[in-house]
Chain A
Amino acid sequence: MGQAAFIRTWKRGAAQDLDTGSHVGLPLRDLGFRAGRGAGAIAARNALTHSRTLLVKNRMTRDPVAVPADATLGVALRLMREHRVRHLPVVEGGEVVGMLSDRDLRLAMPSPLGMESAEDVAAAEGTPVADVMARGAITAGPFDTVEDAAVRMRRHRVGSLPVVDATGALLGILTETDILQAFVEILTASGPSSRLEISLSDRPGELARAMRVIGEELMINVNSVMVTGRDAEGRKTAVVHLGTIDPREAIAALERTGARVGWPSLENDLRRMEGA
């Protein structure tokens, strides 16, 4: 995914109204969380008063649109279109019994585009959701971590998880978009930044030393930090966004400690490239 798409997603995500959990669809006005007014300011306020930690309950859409198991596909299709969603939890007797995706729906139609012909309409109005849904949904609990939920979605190749309480009642829905949003928040800085990569050996104190140089010696704010998994040589890479227009001092200080640093990345360091 390109950087531009990242930024777009980031901004849209930052304007999510966290009180209701619904996407209000307003782009963030000023970049970064200390926005002046408008949607950005609302997002900033919400970000301060609501937990954004990586628990499913903090990342899901609450009170999602759901469909009864005995409703027709026509009802389901209208719900998806009206609410602009691609996944509907299917409920019966107060419990989640399945999931219906827009793909399930399309595949159930006689024509490939769906609802284009009279034949499609008849099929949609005559088929109950229960006949087409994926039965026995893969679910998440509200206190599951987002990383667990993401792994489960990958393992079962599903695009969303209904979030249920101990009785199986529907609390919310977590979709790929929510996971991507969490990922974007981790990957991108929450404000104007310079990006660096620092190569670390996988042992205690490596990351701490780099952060101490940046944060304590130079008093530069670390807007975000992410550490990748081990590479073939057993080293990790810290991707850091520093709140400075001039990262030269930080790079020099890190390199004095023996660290290998890339600006903006180890494999694409502009200081070494000279356009070659």
Chain B
Amino acid sequence: MSAVRTALVWDPAVTAYRFRPDHPFNPKRLDLSVSLMEAMGLLEAEHVGIVPPRRATDEELLRVHTPEYVRAVRRFSEPGARAIEGWPWGLGTDDTPLFPGMHDVTALVTGATLRAAELVMSGEYTRSFNIAGGLHHAHRDRGSGFCVYSDLAAAIAWIREAHGARVMYIDYDAHHGDGVQGIFYDDPEVLTLSIHESGRYLFPGTGFVDELGEGEGYGYSLNVPLEPFTEDDSWIGLYERLLPDIADAFRPDVIVLQNGCDGHTYDPLTHLRATTRLYEETVRITCEVADRHCGGRVVATGGGGYAVWTAVPRAWTLVWAALSGQRAPDVIPHAWNDRWQGESPDLLPERLRDPAGLFPPVPRRAEIEATNRRTVESLRRQALPLLRGWGLGF
């Protein structure tokens, strides 16, 4: 554990990114997460800082969204906007309903990820975390799957423009990171790696191994579609073996890490079987690669995560601890449970980490692991020669 300067970009104002009271993308998980970090004493050390976000400017939004789309989002942010008019833009839907102030707060969430990127690229901090960010389904001209603007793409595009740095975007949300992949599909300076439950089973229905990019960017979009019911060992193992090889071939200057935690066993929207160990281990592996290639630079965001009370706060507290190089104790202070239990429909956990053996092993484990291994082999065979330039005759 080393004291790496790490910033949490946070202000309660970002919790206004809220579609409706009963919507699964529930900002309560942000309050729960930050309060858990605080209760565990993880926001006190000398080397960590809490930095407020700022609003993204129009120029920053327009790097990755069309002017028509940004104008439309503004229009739909007015009270009384009609859902039906939002449909051509993927807004006003059951998933991504209109709400007053939508533009302003999404610009704030986007600005928070930009702030997180600035803090790292300026050298002020080595790592940063915006738990409100990670809106990976937003497309250039279309909202989708709870996402209005792409904070991730805006931050990556800013890094490209201001610093010319090579960006490795890693996304282990249970859903395919289709928005970010689409926006940088032809860009060889931005590598996207998405690890997710196979699109054969889960929204958005894409993210297969043969989606490799196009034009100059061919070979720079990588996808690992996992089998449903994939558990920690398979997931962590494949990541630990794959990431260093990709990084050695691509040589990134900075890593942007989307930490959607809907792959956890408790998550109601997906069929993956991760425990809290996945979040600690993924961040550890990512930071090791960042130390080797990018002077440690990691810009992290949140993402999906719908087990709002039982999984998300613990997953993101562990992400934060691993990013900031702090050892988190395992026992959750009673004060945290006492503060929130009254509101929670579920019994709140008393330990930060899922104890080994909590979840019964998946019966089809061997078959699932074998399928995942074949998937990764297929990706390696197709993508690594391209990344290493072997496919181009160099």
Given the interface pairs A36-B182, A245-B175, A275-B364, the reply to whether A27 lies near B66 with Cβ below 8 Å is no
The reply to whether the CB of B244 lies closer than 8 angstroms to some CB of chain A is no
8 Å CB contacts to B: which residues of A1-33?
3-5, 7-8, 26-27, 29-32
Is there an interface contact between A219 and B94, defined as CB atoms closer than 8 Å?
A: yes
Task: Please report whether the interface of chain B is mostly helix, strand, loop or mixed according to DSSP.
Answer: loop
The reply to whether the CB of A248 lies closer than 8 angstroms to some CB of chain B is yes
Chain A residues, CB < 8 A from B146: 245
Chain B residues, CB < 8 A from A38: 186
Chain B residues, CB < 8 A from A36: 66, 139-141, 182-183
Contact of B203 among A8, A29, A244, A275 (CB under 8 A): A244
How far, in whole Å, are A218 and B95 apart by their CA atoms in the complex? Answer: 11
Contact of A193 among B83, B205, B229, B363 (CB under 8 A): B205
How far, in whole Å, are A189 and B183 apart by their CA atoms in the complex? Answer: 20
Chain A residues, CB < 8 A from B269: 245-246, 248
| Smallest CB gap from B268: residue in A | A248
The reply to whether the CB of A118 lies closer than 8 angstroms to some CB of chain B is no
| Smallest CB gap from A243: residue in B | B93
Is there an interface contact between A194 and B202, defined as CB atoms closer than 8 Å?
A: yes
Chain B residues, CB < 8 A from A270: 201, 228, 271
How far, in whole Å, are A245 and B208 apart by their CA atoms in the complex? Answer: 17
Chain A 114-157 interface mask (CB, 8 Å, partner B; 1/0): 00000000000000000000000000000000000000000000
Is there an interface contact between A245 and B182, defined as CB atoms closer than 8 Å?
A: no
Chain A residues, CB < 8 A from B268: 248
| Smallest CB gap from B227: residue in A | A275
Chain A residues, CB < 8 A from B211: 7
How far, in whole Å, are A35 and B90 apart by their CA atoms in the complex? Answer: 12
8 Å CB contacts to A: which residues of B67-105?
83, 87-88, 90, 93-95
Contact of A244 among B95, B214, B363 (CB under 8 A): B95
What's the nearest-Cβ distance from chain B to residue A196, in Å?
11
Chain A 69-106 interface mask (CB, 8 Å, partner B; 1/0): 00000000000000000000000000000000000000
What's the nearest-Cβ distance from chain A to residue B39, in Å?
30
What's the nearest-Cβ distance from chain B to residue A31, in Å?
5
| Smallest CB gap from A4: residue in B | B208
The reply to whether the CB of A192 lies closer than 8 angstroms to some CB of chain B is yes
Chain A residues, CB < 8 A from B206: 7, 31, 192
How far, in whole Å, are A218 and B93 apart by their CA atoms in the complex? Answer: 10
Chain B 20-44 interface mask (CB, 8 Å, partner A; 1/0): 0000100000000000000000000
The reply to whether the CB of B204 lies closer than 8 angstroms to some CB of chain A is yes
| Smallest CB gap from A40: residue in B | B182
Residue among A29, A191, A193, A275 with the highest chain B CB neighbour number at 10 A = A275
Is there an interface contact between A7 and B210, defined as CB atoms closer than 8 Å?
A: yes
Is there an interface contact between B362 and A275, defined as CB atoms closer than 8 Å?
A: yes
Given contacts A27-B214, A37-B140, A243-B93, 7 further A-B contacts (CB under 8 A): A34-B141, A36-B139, A192-B205, A193-B204, A244-B203, A274-B362, A275-B364
A–B pairs, 28, beta carbons within 8 Å? A3-B200, A7-B206, A29-B182, A29-B214, A30-B140, A32-B142, A35-B140, A35-B182, A36-B141, A37-B140, A189-B205, A192-B145, A192-B203, A193-B203, A193-B205, A195-B201, A221-B93, A241-B205, A245-B145, A245-B175, A246-B95, A270-B201, A270-B271, A274-B362, A275-B228, A275-B363, A275-B364, A275-B365
Closest CB pairs A-B (n = 5): A192-B204, A36-B140, A275-B229, A275-B362, A30-B182
